[in-house]
A = this chain, B = another copy of it.
Amino acid sequence: MSTIKDVATKAGVSRSTVSRVLNHHPYVDEKKRKAVQEAIKELGYTPNSSAQRLRGTETKTIAVLVSRIVNPFFSAVVDAMDEVATMHSYRMILCNTRGRADQELHFLELLRTKQVDGVILASIVNDWETIYPYLQYGPIVLCNEYPRDLHGAPVITIDQKKAMTTITKHLLHKGYDSIAYCNVYDVNHLPEGVRSPLAEDRYEGFVQTMKSEGKVIQSSWRFSGHSVDDGRDILRTILGLSNRPNAIITGSDEIAAGIIAEAKVKKVRIPEDLAVVGFDNQPTATLLEPQLTTIHQPTFEMGKQAMEMLLTLLANQNEQYESVTFLEAPIQIRHST
């Protein structure tokens, strides 16, 4: 039985090009398209996951990969995925990559060795070129995080840049103009050289809005973290600065919760002395005092649509399909700003 690789070799093109042709991607050189179509015909190539189904090796199991299961954002998303999977008599297994590239590939082996029918990546550490070959073993759907050069797989996410633009405009409108920024990373130690397009897009939304309003971005007001404890540390660091910001964008409700908790200890008034904005709208957001202004992530919709997309691809025997879905992520204005 021939594979995408065989088709690529015969047509003298890359596997990505084969995938683009299979998915009727608009930007494919006409000559290459013809070469691929001829190779497919000559080799009698059938998309692999369909072949897999013909061999009757369905597992009715889906693997979902996340970087940090203790993040309530992920547990809410995967709970929605699980609900949809269960409803369709699939079982879902959850894999915690701990933000490690090797673990991510380790779990993707479940797809290659046919222990699962498909995979949802809610976080991604490896380059897309490293992950792409796994598509020959079954469909992969991205949810939340995405690589910059994604092709051959759909993604369900929110417009990160737009969300951060909304937050920045809200703060500027409220009169806060000394704004600190916290870059959120969801792993203990982000591997050297790994860039997160999600984090980059968020930061771009902040920078562009600040610049367009003629505001200065202070490099000493840039932080990073992901936990409640990181938030506590950030508040203490801010108090040590001679030139303090009057607002902070955290990118995470957990960091924001830590800042608010530590502010109480240090008698810093929120939002009078420091406005705080979260990201996600986790259940904690309304339990804090003051209640947290944050971006509402549609966790249920995100998980639901990602699993539905994967089940559709499995039903239609498509191992490759491209689409980008941006879900609405409105700002929830509360009392921390």
Contacts and interface: CB of A to CB of B under 8 A. Distances in A.
Interface stretch (A11-19, A89-97, A146-154, A208-216): A89-97
A107 interface: yes
Interface string A227-255: 01000000000000000000000000010
Interface in A102-119: 103, 106-107, 115
A106 B93 contact: no
A86 interface: yes
Interface of A: 63, 68-70, 72, 75-76, 78-79, 82-83, 86, 91-96, 98, 100, 103, 106-107, 115, 228, 254, 257, 260-261, 264, 283-284, 286-289
A72 B93 CA distance: 18
B82 A96 contact: yes
Given A69-B75, A261-B287, A287-B261, A95 B93 contact: yes
A76 B70 contact: yes
Interface of A is mostly: helix
A22 B31 CA distance: 70
Given A115-B115, A287-B287, A92 B96 contact: yes
Contact of A79 (B63, B70, B86, B260): B70
Given A287-B261, A287-B284, A91 B107 contact: yes
Contact of A70 (B72, B96, B100): B72
Nearest to A229: B283
A98 B75 contact: no
B98 A86 contact: yes
Given A63-B93, A115-B115, 4 more contacts: A69-B94, A82-B98, A93-B93, A261-B287
A58 to B, nearest CB: 14
Contacts of A70: 72, 75-76, 79
A135 to B, nearest CB: 21
Contacts of A103: 86, 91
A218 B83 CA distance: 37
Given A69-B82, A79-B69, A103-B86, A94 B91 contact: no
Contact of A96 (B63, B79, B261): B79
A107 B70 CA distance: 22
Nearest to A283: B228
